[in-house]
Each structure stands twice: as C-alpha cells, then as structure tokens.
Amino acid sequence: MNIYGDYGNALVLKRRLQWYGYDPVMLTYDPGDEFPEAPDILIGGGGQDSGQDRIQQDLLDIGQRLHTLADQDIPMLMICGLYQLFGHFFETREGSRISGIGILDAETYGTDSRLIGNVVAESSEFGRIIGYENHSGQTYLGVQVTPLARVTTGEGNNQKDEHEGARYRNVLGSYLHGALLPKNPAVADFLIGTAVEQRFAEKLPELSAPSSAPLSLNALTDQARRTAASRPR
Ligand code: GLN
C-alpha cells in the first residue's frame, strides 16, 4: 500500500544508500508476488480500509516469513494502514475485524474521529520526529512494544496516551506520512545503518551527498521540518 507520499520513503532509502556508497536494489511487492529471498530492509505504506481488506489475505499468507525476518532483526518501517495490520487487528467502525499479523503488540479500533494534520513527536532515540497523520483508526500498544515517540503536536496512535508509533526489535510502525523519511533522516539512517551492519558487518561510512544541490541537504531537510511543524492542524 502507498498513500500520502509513502513511496517517498523508498526513494529516500535508495538515494541515501547511494550517497553512502552502496548500490541498492529496490524491489516492489504486491499481493501474490513471490516474496524476496533475503531482503535487507522492508517498508510498507498506508491505505484506506478497503485497501487493507484487499491485502489482508496475502499479508496473512506471508506473515510467518515476516515474523521470522523481524526476529532476525531485519529493519522494517510500516506506515499507517500497514502499521495497523502489523498489529493484531484493525476493527472497523462497523465492527468487522481485519486481522493483522501481530508482529507489533498493538490493537486498532476504527472511530468516528478522523485525526488529520502535521504531527511533532519526541523520541529518545531519533530526536524530534515530524510527519503528517490522516487516520480514523486509533491504536493501543501492548507490553511487547515500546512507543516510537511522544506526541507534542497532533494525536499519533490515539487521542488518549500521546504515544506515536511502535517499535519491536528493529520493526518500526508509525502513523506519519508525508513521506516520513525525507523529513526524518535519523530514522532513515537507523534503517540503513542496521541493514548495512547486518549485511556487511560494517558501520555506515561518511555521507557524501552531491554538492550540486541548490541548498545543502541539511538545509532542505530543516526547511521541510520547520514548515511542517509550524503549520496549523
Ligand atoms: N484506514 C486506516 C484508518 O483510517 C488507515 C488510513 C491510512 O493508512 N492513512 O485508520
């Protein structure tokens, strides 16, 4: 699934890996495709309830494979609709349950409120995380996961506990679109750094972004972060 720019996360990972000197191969996966043999990073996006319904069976079919990869510490980033389905279930407003695969110990309930707007959240590991939410499902975390961040602007997982996202091992779930990674290079580098360490047993080298960009990479990122954070909800 892919909504509100989530595909941008894939582009950021690819480009940053190139800047770090690697030669990434980006594969797409749709229901029914053959699941890749040994993926280094897995990312997934959001979708409407109807899209979640459509991919559900395929996700359940590959669920065991995904559990194995998660327990091998493969880094993953799942946004919104797939975040919900990496949890135990998404119960729609009408009361029907779309089963998830339960890698993340979390439950999601459809509500009549739609949570929309830019979000600012503080994470002890990644610093300030900025993104855009648009969901009516509200997610509650169990004890096997930790929240990704604490919301200071916006709602995040739900309207009660100020939590945004979830983490189990190297699997991150988040409600933040926009896409998330262009505005949050610390999260991108966590995914990349973890994958590089696992694949090559080495630390990330120095980043060498092209100097031909009109603004430096950091300046562009900072500008996007400031703009998003200053917009009214
Ligand atoms: N359908 C889900 C909800 O509204 C997910 C939406 C999304 O992925 N943006 O809660």
Whether 233 has a pLDDT exceeding 80, the answer reads no
Ligand 1 atom nearest 177 alpha carbon: 9
Whether 217 has a pLDDT exceeding 80, the answer reads no
- What was the pLDDT predicted at 218? 79
CA of 230 to the centre of ligand 1 (A): 24
At residue 33, what are phi and psi to the nearest 5 degrees? -65, 160
CA of 61 to the centre of ligand 1 (A): 21
Ligand 1 atom nearest 45 alpha carbon: 8
* Given 80, 88, 135, 163, the catalytic residue: 80
CA of 140 to the centre of ligand 1 (A): 15
Length of the chain, please?
233
Whether 213 has a pLDDT exceeding 80, the answer reads no
Which residue ranges make up each domain of the chain? 7-230
Identify whether 67 is a catalytic site residue.
no
* 21/90 Cα distance (integer angstroms): 40
Whether 212 has a pLDDT exceeding 60, the answer reads no
pLDDT digits (tens, 9 = 90+) for 43-100: 999 999 999 999 999 999 999 999 999 999 999 999 999 999 999 999 999 999 999 9
Contacts of 126 (CB under 8 A, 6+ apart): 148, 149, 184, 186, 187, 190
Identify whether 177 is a catalytic site residue.
yes
CA of 81 to the centre of ligand 1 (A): 5
Pocket test for ligand 1, best of 1, 52, 97 (most atoms within 8 A of CB): 52
Looking only at the bridges linking them, the beta strands covering 97-99 and 89-91 are antiparallel
Ligand 1 atom nearest 4 alpha carbon: 9
Contacts of 145 (CB under 8 A, 6+ apart): 104, 105, 106, 166, 167, 168
Q: Whose CA is nearest to atom 4 of ligand 1?
A: 135
- What was the pLDDT predicted at 219? 84
User: Which residue, chain included where needed, has tokens 């896409």?
Assistant: 179
Ligand 1 atom nearest 1 alpha carbon: 8
Looking only at the bridges linking them, the beta strands covering 171-174 and 76-79 are parallel
Lowest mean pLDDT among 3-12, 44-53, 155-164, 213-222: 213-222
Whether 215 has a pLDDT exceeding 80, the answer reads no
Split at pLDDT 50, 70, 90, the class of 220 is confident
Give the alpha-carbon dihedral of 6, 10, 15, 20, to 10 degrees. 120
- pTM, whole model, 2 decimals? 0.95
Q: What architecture is domain 7-230?
A: 3-Layer(aba) Sandwich (3.40)
Q: What is the mean pLDDT of the chain?
A: 94
CA of 215 to the centre of ligand 1 (A): 34
Split at pLDDT 50, 70, 90, the class of 165 is very high
Q: Which tokens sit at 46? A: 């959001």
List pocket residues of ligand 1, CB cut-off 6 Å. 3, 46-49, 52, 80-81, 134-137
Split at pLDDT 50, 70, 90, the class of 232 is confident
Closest CA to 81 of 68, 65, 92: 92
- What was the pLDDT predicted at 216? 67
